Amino acid sequence: MTDHARISRRTAVTAAAATAALLPFAAAPSARAAGAADSPAFPAFLHGVASGDPLPEGVLLWTRITPAPEAVPGSGRGPDTEVAWEVAEDEAFTKVVARGSATARAAADHTVKADVRGLRPATAYWYRFSCGEVRSPAARTRTAPAHGQSVMGLRFGVVSCANWESGHFSAYRHLAARRDLDAVLHLGDYIYEYASGEYPAKKYVVRPHVPTHEIVTLADYRARHGHYKTDPDLQAMHHALPMIAIWDDHEFADNAWAGGAVNHTPGAEGEWGARMAAAKQAYFEWMPVRPSTEGTTYRRLRFGSLADLHLLDLRSFRSEQARTGSGTVDDPERTITGRAQLDWLKDGLAKSDTTWRLVGNPVMMSPVAFGALPAHLLKPLAKLLGMPTGGITANTDQWDGYTDDRRELLAHLAGRGIRNTVFLTGDIHMAWANDVPKEAALYPLLSSSVATEFVVTSVTADNLDETLRVPPHTVSLAAATAVRAANRHVKWVDMDSHGYGVLDVTAERTQMDYYVLADKRDPESAASWARSYRTRSGSQRIERVKSPVG
């Protein structure tokens, strides 16, 4: 018997919990063939469908089939099952342009991927899966423009940090409702690994995780991915738009690095290498993502002559986070990217012939100093960012903790005259608009900005005022003012909203429109525009805009 098929006591418990959670979805109309009975029927497409990593000639399609009631995510149970797929030019599927089939195997948790090629560039398509008479929902996707194609504009939804227990995924629903987006860029923390009631505390949990214990094994990670993909707003977003995703730490464990994580206890939770391998396997099974040749998420996509997108993996190769005050953040032997990835990024930025160079960047690039913060603001902010409360100058989980890599990259941009580089960032549960100076201490009089950065806030994960359990904006407004005073390259920061961004790219400028939710705990929460910032081609500076693009 293989490791994938072996059923441990913990796996059986996980499977039982997941079965109870998933059975209500078995009767959903989208999971059954037309005219099927209202009682649960199998096989079924309980986890929706998804597409991702659009190319000019193709796109990656994904689904998961549940062939039998016991074949819940992570169980290892259920027969291997043949699944067909088709791609059409119209929603009615009267003009099918590609079709094929694949086997959903228990060894891959009954997930299926189809890397479809031979499609037309910059074209919308519909796709669906079927198993016998049972059909999945029909969904929409879009290919990228041809590499040399002149592109008037691109528009992406941008999201990060969606903790199931912290609230509802209304941000995804609002993105799904738009019809002006080319894709959604997910910058990491698509899932969270914590036990139920650990983050946030039990009294603040909006809806409990499945499984309820901290996820550690392959079965656990599969079950957690499967549970997230039962969310109706998440499914709606996947059904409306292709996704371009990278991972951050919570796809593994909090503050993960190459050899461990803050939220990993060696011995009690097994060997870190095995846990990371399990998390990566489950991620690639459950996400519409093409792994790179090294089995990571760093890769590159191109969108005509307008933009290329460099996607980073800042967890697989990084050194352990420096202890604050240890004096090691500048150590050239420490790395956040690893040598191969940093060279790949520098080479790609230097050789790019597009108007814009976008970088999907899990953790914040811009330096942030907190030395000027009053003590009563420093303490809660440090708690949120995982830093000591006695006084610090950097969050060492960000690029601030790996300053030699950052210095080398920013010097490369400046020395090679590489312009129009925009970092797109998540992780920190706040929205920021930053210039990225070559030397922050000398900015702006003696050191110029060599890039810009847009940071999106979390979909649901707790931020400053929620961490303190005080009313919104009670502490965050004063803290944001102090941060900006101490960091002149930070043009705006919102420390306690939730929502998403919409990035609009033209030859003249790149603009981020920031949208915030009224209440993440409300599954029907409204969303509203909050702010917009742009960087003009060639300027390397952020400026405020008075209205969103659309």
Q: Residue 374 maps to which CATH number?
A: 3.60.21.70
Q: Is residue 267 part of a domain?
A: no
Count how many domains the chain has: 2
Show the tokens assigned to 506: 């033209």
51/167 same-domain check: no
> What is the DSSP secondary structure assignment for residue 151, as one 8-state letter?
-
Q: Is residue 97 part of a domain?
A: yes
pLDDT along the chain (550 residues), means of 10: 34 38 40 41 97 98 98 98 98 98 98 98 98 97 96 98 98 98 98 97 97 98 98 98 98 98 95 97 97 86 98 98 79 96 98 98 88 51 49 74 95 97 97 94 87 98 90 85 88 95 98 97 98 98 94
* 259, 261, 262, 264: CA torsion to nearest 10: -110
The whole domain housing 54 covers 9-142
Q: Is residue 345 part of a domain?
A: no
Nearest to 516 by CA among 431, 437, 402: 431
Q: Is residue 227 part of a domain?
A: no
Q: Is residue 171 part of a domain?
A: yes
63/123 same-domain check: yes
Q: Which residues of 360-382 are buried (b: 16+ CB within 10 A; e: fewer)?
A: bbbbbbbbbbbeebeeebbebbb
Beta bridge partners of 531: 514
Q: What pLDDT is stored for residue 63 in this prediction?
A: 98
Q: What pLDDT is stored for residue 135 in this prediction?
A: 97
Query: Taking the complete model, does pTM exceed 0.75, yes or no?
Result: yes
96/163 same-domain check: no
Q: What pLDDT is stored for residue 416 in this prediction?
A: 97
480/377 same-domain check: yes
> What is the DSSP secondary structure assignment for residue 314, as one 8-state letter?
-
115/179 same-domain check: no
Gyration radius (Cα) of the chain, Å: 23
46/160 same-domain check: no
> What is the DSSP secondary structure assignment for residue 333, as one 8-state letter?
T
137/175 same-domain check: no
Q: What pLDDT is stored for residue 292 in this prediction?
A: 77
Rounded Cα distance between 54 and 313, Å, is 19
Residue with tokens 């790179």: 292
SS3 label, residue 436: strand
Q: Is residue 240 part of a domain?
A: no
Q: What pLDDT is stored for residue 477 in this prediction?
A: 87
Q: Is residue 539 part of a domain?
A: yes
Q: What pLDDT is stored for residue 325 in this prediction?
A: 66
Q: Which of 82, 108, 142 is the last residue of a domain?
A: 142
395/496 same-domain check: yes
15/51 same-domain check: yes
Q: Is residue 259 part of a domain?
A: no
Q: Are 390 and 323 in contact (CB under 8 A)?
A: no
426/514 same-domain check: yes
**Domain containing 125 — which CATH number?**
2.60.40.380
Q: What pLDDT is stored for residue 467 in this prediction?
A: 86
Nearest to 453 by CA among 433, 438, 437, 439: 433
Q: What pLDDT is stored for residue 370 in this prediction?
A: 56
182/310 same-domain check: yes
126/170 same-domain check: no
